[in-house]
Structure 1
Amino acid sequence: MTKPVLLGICGALRAGSTNRKLLNEAARLFGEAEFSIADLNLPLYDGDAEDANGIPQAVQTLSDQIAAADAVIISTPEYNKGLTGALKNALDWVSRTKGSPWKGKPVAIMSAAAGRAGGERAQVMLRACLTAFRPRLLLGPEVALHNSANQFDENGRLTGELYEKNLQSLMQDLRAEISDRGNG
């Protein structure tokens, strides 16, 4: 049996982002898979630029990665009570590509933020943005790390037992969605 392809999408661009750490922990708890994290360093969406030059190669690559993945995990911080501009821009660009890479795709979302809500509002906004693409969004358990800078040890592992338990459960559910998709 081949390993499932798992794509991570990090709403933060910083290399040391706690959301990137959370994606890596999710992949570890998911288990054996071909895992990669997408690059969201994309030009700002501009309809005139699209008309003149077409879809940028970096955007097409992201769309192709989503289409090829068996499942996607998205982790985003919360910026000013919403998801990040980088993540929203990526969603807008991918919506302009051919095909429907998100349609029917199992997707788990999570967040890590400095604030006490742990990015819950960003998750609500992300769910609303994804709905139009018709993925198979997992509804829980919710993983929203608050005070995220203090939730990982020096090796990037989660230190909170409850967070790890919820993330483990979410990844088990995501793996089950892949199995169900293959049988459906």
Structure 2
Amino acid sequence: MHSLTFVGIAGSLRQASRNKGLLRCCASHLPQGVRMEIADLSALPFYNEDIEKPQSARDLIAQVTAADALVLAATEYNYSMSPALKNALDWLSREPNLAPLNGKPACLLGAGGGMGTARSQYHARQVCVYLNLRLLNKPELFSNAFGQDFDQQGNVQSEALTKQVAQLMQALADWTRLLERD
């Protein structure tokens, strides 16, 4: 079995974001033979076809192109996905034939209010269908960002949530390997 590389993209730019904390938890609880990088969107400008592709966009495109699968932390703002995540997907979608995304396995997770990030994940799924990402449907992971599951720095401190994260990462690894055989 060969090794896999996941790239995590958080919809929040804050360092203490619970969604970035979920990605850090993912990176710490990967199955054997899987490694994970977390993309940095802090320098990525809003997508604008009038500007030359900035280095931050080229770096993201290269990172995602080299990845075997994506882990999208779908931060929720105003009942929808965050501008940072949508912007990253917009930059990635402008490559010919959606090259970095087309057919790539991915999963969604998120930490938000009382419903977790159910609404943003729903909207992200709609975007991912157009981008031809191969989304993992189960298990789903919605967590409350404002309970006892996270510390002040946004790190996961709940054993139950950590177990869910580990199960999701195992399912994504299995899904990615299954799709590679197709």
TM-score by length of 2: 0.88
1:9 matched to 2:44? The reply is no
2:64 corresponds in structure 1 to: 66
Q: Which amino acid aligns with 2:31?
A: G
Instruction: Tell me, in whole angstroms, the C-alpha distance in 2 between the residues paired with 1:34 and 1:160.
Output: 21
Instruction: Tell me, in whole angstroms, the C-alpha distance in 2 between the residues paired with 1:120 and 1:30.
Output: 24
1:27 corresponds in structure 2 to: 27
Instruction: Tell me, in whole angstroms, the C-alpha distance in 2 between the residues paired with 1:19 and 1:148.
Output: 12
Mark the CA change 1:126 to 1:133 in structure 2 (over 3 Å): closer, same or farther: same
Instruction: Tell me, in whole angstroms, the C-alpha distance in 2 between the residues paired with 1:61 and 1:153.
Output: 31
Identity %: 35
Q: For the aligned residues, what is the CA RMSD?
A: 2.0
Unaligned runs of 5+ in 2: none
1:108 corresponds in structure 2 to: 107
1:141–1:167: 8 Å Cα contact kept in structure 2? no
Residue correspondence of structure 1 range 5-154 to structure 2 within 5 A: 5-32=5-32, 33-41=34-42, 42-49=44-51, 53=52, 55-99=53-97, 100-113=99-112, 115-148=113-146, 150-153=148-151
Secondary structure in structure 2 of the residue aligned to 1:30: coil
Q: Which amino acid aligns with 2:106?
A: V
Secondary structure in structure 2 of the residue aligned to 1:72: strand
Mark the CA change 1:86 to 1:157 in structure 2 (over 3 Å): closer, same or farther: closer
Instruction: Tell me, in whole angstroms, the C-alpha distance in 2 between the residues paired with 1:82 and 1:154.
Output: 24
Number of aligned residues: 178
Unaligned runs of 5+ in 1: none
